[in-house]
Amino acid sequence: MHDYTHTTALVTGASKGLGEAYARELASRGAHLILVARSADALHALAGQLRAAHSVRVDVIAADLSDRRAPRTVVDAVDELGLDVDLLVNNAGVGAVGPFLGRPLEPTLQSVDVNVTALIGLVHLLGARMVERGHGGIVNVASTAAFQPMPYQAGYAATKAFVLSFTEALAEEVRGTGVRVMAAHPGATATGFFDGTTASMNPKSTDSPADVAAGTLDDFARGRSLSFPGRASQRAGVWASRLLPRTTVARLTGSLNRKAGFAEAADVGELGELDSIASREK
Ligand SMILES: NC(=O)c1ccc[n+]([C@@H]2O[C@H](COP(=O)([O-])OP(=O)(O)OC[C@H]3O[C@@H](n4cnc5c(N)ncnc54)[C@H](OP(=O)(O)O)[C@@H]3O)[C@@H](O)[C@H]2O)c1
């Protein structure tokens, strides 16, 4: 069983939601932390709470991971702190929701930048150092959305499919080096993931961030290479997508997402724009 005590973990997207839960859970298991996200105030507030509650060192690096230079900047800041990262939790992620066409491209591009480009950038820099040292761990937070196409979350699900494929391949590349790589696939989790959009999750079918974080870290500690830290039903779609033709799966997920209202979902900032397009079309 992997022991987190006195290890140093870098958690991206630690200012709220699942990343905050990973940070809290790691601190409670004795890990020192480096918290990364854009919201410096939220990170410092969390760092203060963690230091007060646990005997751990907590540092903060404020960075915008949609900037292609961010992984280098973050690693330079880690070096300035004089720290080695033992565990990288690549958790920061964003997702556009709504139809892909006829909507601004920017949220989908942000999703690719944060979920994919920043993630592989950090793995490339920190993973190489871990292999050199002969130990370390990487947890890439993907999603159950990684396993099937998701109409109305098309770009988001595709970024998570990338994370799944990339992580599985890398885990094999580093096998035997002392470095372990795991993908975590939460299902719907009660966070502010859809904040700023008109979409929402059904509270009856969401897991708590604390449970998901604890489940992920338990799975990593057990040496697993993939983790489904949510309730069992969250995993059902994963099996369906393995058994059914891909077009059938896309129809099914499209139908589920239409029922959830995602076909009409938009960023809150876009609503005025969409109303005026709709009234022009009437
Ligand atoms: N919630 C779910 O149902 C669910 C399900 C499966 C997988 N996931 C995955 O879990 C991860 C965490 O999501 P969440 O639900 O906790 O979402 P969340 O509550 O919206 O938190 C997202 C985190 O990512 C950070 N972030 C966003 N854009 C960033 C940027 N440009 N640079 C740096 N940090 C950035 C945010 O911090 P700042 O805004 O302060 O930068 C925040 O800390 C994501 O990878 C998501 O895809 C979530």
Averaged pLDDT in 10-residue chunks for the chain of 282 residues: 89 98 98 98 98 98 98 98 98 97 96 98 98 98 97 98 98 98 97 93 93 98 96 84 94 96 89 58 52
d(CA 130, CA 133): 5
Does residue 191 have its Cβ closer than 6 Å to ligand 1?
A: yes
191-211 pLDDT per residue, tens: 999 999 999 999 988 999 999
Does residue 18 have its Cβ closer than 6 Å to ligand 1?
A: yes
CA of 111 to the centre of ligand 1 (A): 10
User: Which amino acid does the sequence have at 189?
Assistant: T
Q: Which residues pair with 12 in a beta bridge?
A: 36
Sign of CA dihedral 264, 266, 268, 270: negative
CA of 154 to the centre of ligand 1 (A): 17
Please name the residue that has the structure tokens 């854009």. 38
- Residue 208, φ and ψ in degrees, nearest 5: -85, 145
Q: Residue 268: what pLDDT?
A: 87
Question: Which pTM was predicted?
Answer: 0.95
The arrangement of strands across the sheet holding 179-184 comes to: 58-62, 32-37, 8-12, 87-90, 136-141, 179-184, 226-227
C-beta of residue 122 within 8 angstroms of C-beta of residue 136: no
Nearest-CA residue for ligand 1 atom 2 is: 189
Does residue 44 have its Cβ closer than 6 Å to ligand 1?
A: no
d(CA 148, CA 240): 9
Q: How many CA atoms lie within 13 A of 257 on its CB side?
A: 24
Q: Residue 240: what pLDDT?
A: 84
Q: Residue 237: what pLDDT?
A: 76
Does residue 203 have its Cβ closer than 6 Å to ligand 1?
A: no
Pocket mutation for ligand 1, best pick of 90, 147, 189, 194 (most atoms within 8 Å of C-beta): 189
